[in-house]
Structure 1
Amino acid sequence: MAEDQAITVASLQSITVSGLTDEAAKGLAFRVAALVGELTGIDRPRPLDLRRMKRMVFAADYAAALEDEVGDSGRRVAPTREDYAVGVAKVIVLRLDGSDFEIVPVFDVNTFAVLGDNYEEMEQERKDWFHRILHMLHHELCHVHDDNKKIDAMPAATLGKVWAGAETIIGPLAEVAWSEYFANRVSCITASDAVIDETVEMFKDALLRTKPTMNDHIIAYRRNSDLDGLMALFKRHGDFLVKAAAYALGYLDGIGKTLEEVSGEAHQVLMASDFRPFWHRMHTELKAMFDKHPAGWDDSLAIYSQLSEVMQDFYDDMGLVLQSQPDGGLYVNIPFRPENSTPEMLIWAAGNG
């Protein structure tokens, strides 16, 4: 195992820290380097593959650091900032000159600074926080591992990835769902019961919130005709429900428990929700993808096809019917339904159908 760790961690050349004193920055960098080595081999049957991770960035201005990494590529990497979720870490995959990539994890230094503190001098509350952030670091390293394996298995597809039609929406969402499922399933070994419980609670809250919220936004769209605005809102709220489900499914499969065993309340909410069939279908497809990962992944995007179908049906159920056009464009049909239309709108639709 020591040899495996040396091979996978050897690529790390620098850890950049901003926003801390020189002493604190050095302490954080040295401690993170050591933790990366420990986390690489913590799951002995599956040591983490970190080959393309040459740099790690801990930034005082996390959002600006993300933008700096992608430069003028045109990619949008703004961190999540919602009442129910705030992003503090993200793994960026950068295409290098030629045919390879660099993988760069970027972190909010204020969140991760605790990793550089003296553990033995911490109060218990601070130690609990340390372990929570350690798990977050582990989660991001699992993303690095997954990205490495995907690049190895699908070099041509990764280099030449172009989505068209409905795939421009559902393809990236399927990728994110897989990515979060995999990272949580593999990193669950460092997740506390509290973290897993909070993730399940987050999923339950998203179940209760998302459909009514999007129905309200569709009603507003019928009045203002702002389709771009509606799609942006759905990507914020609707896509988050899918990601929350993937987070929860990853932990549950990792610890070998069902949703009902972890939270009877969340299970009841799911069983009563329209999302129930999508939860089960996501679970089936994600488990199948995990069982094939990475040896069973070929150099195409076909591995995502079944999961993408689930995403498209989810959009349809939420009120947005995505239709691919012959020229590669996308048409969004928004049928009038009782839950996303006022009585007056339904009367109008019946008379103009």
Structure 2
Amino acid sequence: MKEINLEINGLSIIESNRALELINHIIKKLSFLDMRRVTNIIVSSNYKRDISFLLNNNSKNRFELSNDIYAAVLTLESEYDYEFYLVVKTSLIKRYLKNKNEIEYQRLFHILHHEFAHIHDNNKKIDAFKNIIKDQKYIGVNSITYPIAEVCWSEYIANYISSSSAIQTEYPINFAKSLLYKVDKLKDIKTQITAYKINNSREDLIQLSIKQVESVLKSASYLIGYLNGLNINLNQLDCFLALELEKTDFIETFINLTYELNSIHHLYPNGFINLNIYNNLACLIKEYYKTLGIDLFEEDNILKINLY
């Protein structure tokens, strides 16, 4: 592995040296992962600004700035290939340096394990799809369903790979709780659709509903990755949360999503030949939107949305 540039901001000299030792220690522990194409790790005290600057409208990233995200991998195009930047919030490192206990270390280690798992997965996908993804543009219904399918796979496999470091953390349980909360909030979609029918200039309500569904599917994929990686089911993780999910209309989609992610996983990575690996998952996503009253279709390759 070639040398990685490490930039640390917002820490004292002593803290910076400790952070450097810590990050190098974690990289060595995760050296079994494919870390090719990582060129820079930035510990950032102005996370949103630095990520926005690096992205610069880069189309290869589906990234949303959020206060509860502590680190992110950015994929940037170079002249002949891609390179990865790992951006980590200074506050995450500072929290560990301040407390220096096993709980904080496990938390920090898992977050970075998850991000390096993304790098590992991104390398496998670039190796498989390099001649496809540079010019790939989804149109029509696929412009909604395929990017979501890609995100679902990405978060599933990152959590699957990093699940071993999640055992001593609160993350698996928290993602299960988060999924239940988001599923419950889906009832808002009916209100948003009704409001749009009354005032069809409120396109933002439709976009909000689409993003809301994406968030649910993404959270479910996170959770499935943990469960499969730990070789347990939701009932073994928390029987109460399992029972609550079974009471919801989402349970059938959760089961089907688990099946489709498992099917893709069986092909990974040597069976990744083209982007058709996402076909069935994209169809599942389209059908789930329909159950919520959002019918995605197209005319002359142009996306249309029918609400009912």
Structure 1 length-normalised TM:
0.82
CA contact (8 A) 1:92 1:104 kept: yes
Length, aligned pairs only: 306
CA contact (8 A) 1:252 1:259 kept: yes
* Pairwise CA distance, 1:170: 0.9
For the residues of structure 2 that align with 1:231 and 1:147, how far apart are their CA atoms?
Answer: 31
Listed one character per residue, the Cα deviations across residues 23-64 of structure 1 (whole Å, up to 9, x for unaligned) are 212321232022111122xxxxxx310101111111111111
Structure 2 unaligned blocks of 5 or more: none
Listed one character per residue, the Cα deviations across residues 259-302 of structure 1 (whole Å, up to 9, x for unaligned) are 1221222222222222122111111111111121110110x210
Partner of 1:286: 261
For the residues of structure 1 that align with 2:113 and 2:38, how far apart are their CA atoms?
Answer: 14
CA contact (8 A) 1:79 1:88 kept: no
2:165 aligned partner, one-letter code: T
1:325 equivalent to 2:299? Answer yes
CA contact (8 A) 1:114 1:130 kept: no
For the residues of structure 2 that align with 1:214 and 1:245, how far apart are their CA atoms?
Answer: 18
Where do residues 212-231 of structure 1 align in structure 2 (5 Å cutoff)? 212-226=187-201, 228-231=203-206
CA contact (8 A) 2:156 2:222 kept: yes
Return the index of the structure with the highest Cα Rg.
1
Correspondent of 1:79 among 52, 65, 69: 65
1:32 equivalent to 2:14? Answer no
The share of aligned pairs that are identical, in percent, is 24
Where do residues 230-309 of structure 1 align in structure 2 (5 Å cutoff)? 230-298=205-273, 300-309=274-283
Which secondary structure state, in structure 2, belongs to the residue aligned with residue 269 of structure 1?
A: helix
* Pairwise CA distance, 1:175: 0.6
1:109 equivalent to 2:90? Answer yes
Where do residues 1-353 of structure 1 align in structure 2 (5 Å cutoff)? 10-40=1-31, 47-73=32-58, 77-81=63-67, 86-98=68-80, 100-115=81-96, 117=97, 122=100, 126-191=101-166, 192=168, 194-209=170-185, 211-226=186-201, 228-298=203-273, 300-326=274-300, 328-335=301-308
CA RMSD of aligned residues (A): 1.9
For the residues of structure 2 that align with 1:263 and 1:205, how far apart are their CA atoms?
Answer: 15
Which secondary structure state, in structure 2, belongs to the residue aligned with residue 165 of structure 1?
A: coil
For the residues of structure 2 that align with 1:240 and 1:200, how far apart are their CA atoms?
Answer: 13
CA contact (8 A) 2:106 2:169 kept: no
For the residues of structure 2 that align with 1:54 and 1:114, how far apart are their CA atoms?
Answer: 25
For the residues of structure 2 that align with 1:207 and 1:239, how far apart are their CA atoms?
Answer: 11
Structure 1 unaligned blocks of 5 or more: 1-9, 41-46, 336-353
* Pairwise CA distance, 1:218: 1.5
For the residues of structure 2 that align with 1:171 and 1:77, how far apart are their CA atoms?
Answer: 15
Structure 2 length-normalised TM:
0.93
* Pairwise CA distance, 1:150: 0.1
For the residues of structure 1 that align with 2:78 and 2:248, how far apart are their CA atoms?
Answer: 45
